[in-house]
Amino acid sequence: MSITGSRARALLVLAAVATLTVTVVAGADKTLASSTAQAKGPKWIAAWAMPFTGGSTGTTPSNSTVRDIARVSIGGTAVRIRLTNASGATPLTIGAAYVGLQLNNSVSSGGTTVLVATPEIVTGTTRQITFNGGQTGVSIPSGTDYIYSDPVGFPVQAQQNLAVSLYLPGLANPAAGTTTRYTSYSTPSGTGNWAANEAGGPFTVPLALSTYALTAIDVLTTEADGAVVGLGSSTFNGWNTAPDEYQDVLTLLSVRVNRLPLGQQKGIINAGIAGDTLHAALATRLDRDVLSQTGVSGVIVYDVNDISTRTAGQIADDYLSLIALAHARGIKVFCPTWPPAAQSLIGQNFTGAAQRHLLNEWLMNSDVCDGVVDWDAVLRFEAGYPEEYHPDYISDGIHPNPIGHRALADSVPLGWFVNGWPMPPQ
């Protein structure tokens, strides 16, 4: 990619910094290994997260109970939850909170037994959640990005679904949703406190692919030494995969990362919002959804809608800004290339495609990222036809289908997650 003037000077500086960074990290390997060996005790790591959108969950809770469903990516001995009232005009009152394991029922369909998600909780697994040193409830002020609960002794394994039940005694904010690809639940308004009840029957109102107020779950663990956040748009949000089947790229990647040795695994958490752009994420939610997560030590950047309105050089500037902010905190940045899409979508016309090629060339060759994977090559139809997406992998013109999501997850180098963690601040 040809970059002139101040952009060229910025790239030369960043390339020099990147070279220096490699030298520093390489020289710190022995020190890092020694400190890791001395610090084998458990630590809090984000094991699940979804970005807050302020969208409607499809219901207006009032004197009712919501049951949020979340699949954790690492295991441990205790959990704590993170709640938001970022868009609320009034305080959000939680009257009671409990956590348990979601029960999946076996159902026969066409001669095959499948697991069907339910609002029911595995008998005997429910534990009470408290706040502020033992309070059974909490009032979250209006405009609060997040608060954490007290720790709860609650053994959990990677890839288990937790059910977090919140009793909302008053008229709650209807626009307190995250964005997920699985179902959470609520009781009808006026039905009262069912947070400690393990039965699923009262939870008859499905939440529209969202959790209510719940934006993260941390796990006290010795299995992982950090968390990696997927900062992105609709692909990271799981579009073109079936709800409740966990076929999205980040969930599939977390299963692969779970196969790493204990102590070297990573929590894989989600900050994907459909329709988002890298420029908007950098301006409005980088700190809230990425940098503030517990134990975050890496971020995978795949926010790919900017190509419809911005040039490759402008997008590269946003990458440089994000990388500088992350590296200052010792957080690695991993950069997949941007794949093709139907030319009628998100600016993938001839002009947009040319900018995408320039951006991909820069990502692959500038050495400003801590790791690069060529997702453009994974999802292209074949070499020599760079504008053609593979129809087996992308079935709607833009989003990978489940086969495409798996191909992306399988192409990520596991070396991203084991070499030199955490990165020393630069």
Q: pTM for this structure?
A: 0.87
From first CA to last CA, the distance across the chain in angstroms is 26
Beta-bridge partners for 217: 48, 81
Residues 6 or more apart whose Cβ sits within 8 Å of residue 214: 50, 68, 70, 81, 82, 83, 164, 166, 178
In sequence order, what DSSP letters do the residues of 398-417 get, joined into one string?
A: SSB-HHHHHHHHHHS-GGGG
DSSP class of residue 199?
-
Dihedral sign for Cα atoms in the order 154, 160, 166, 172: positive
Distance of CA 222 to the CA centre of its chain: 21
3-state secondary structure of 354: helix
- 344-to-19, 308, 387 alpha-carbon distances in Å: 40, 10, 12
The whole-number pLDDT of residue 16 equals: 34
Query: Can you give the C-alpha Rg of the chain in angstroms?
Result: 22
> Helices 29-38 and 5-27: crossing angle, nearest 10°?
60
The whole-number pLDDT of residue 177 equals: 72
Q: What is the mean pLDDT of each run of 10 residues along the chain (426 residues)?
A: 40 35 29 39 96 76 93 98 90 96 75 77 98 97 95 97 96 74 92 97 90 96 97 89 90 96 96 94 94 97 90 96 97 94 56 86 96 93 64 81 95 93 80
The whole-number pLDDT of residue 372 equals: 97
Contact 103, 200 (CB under 8 A): yes
Which backbone phi and psi does 38 adopt, to 5 degrees? -80, -15
Round to whole Å and give the CA distance between 237 and 302. 11
The whole-number pLDDT of residue 396 equals: 76
Contact 342, 390 (CB under 8 A): no
Contact 233, 277 (CB under 8 A): yes
The whole-number pLDDT of residue 270 equals: 96
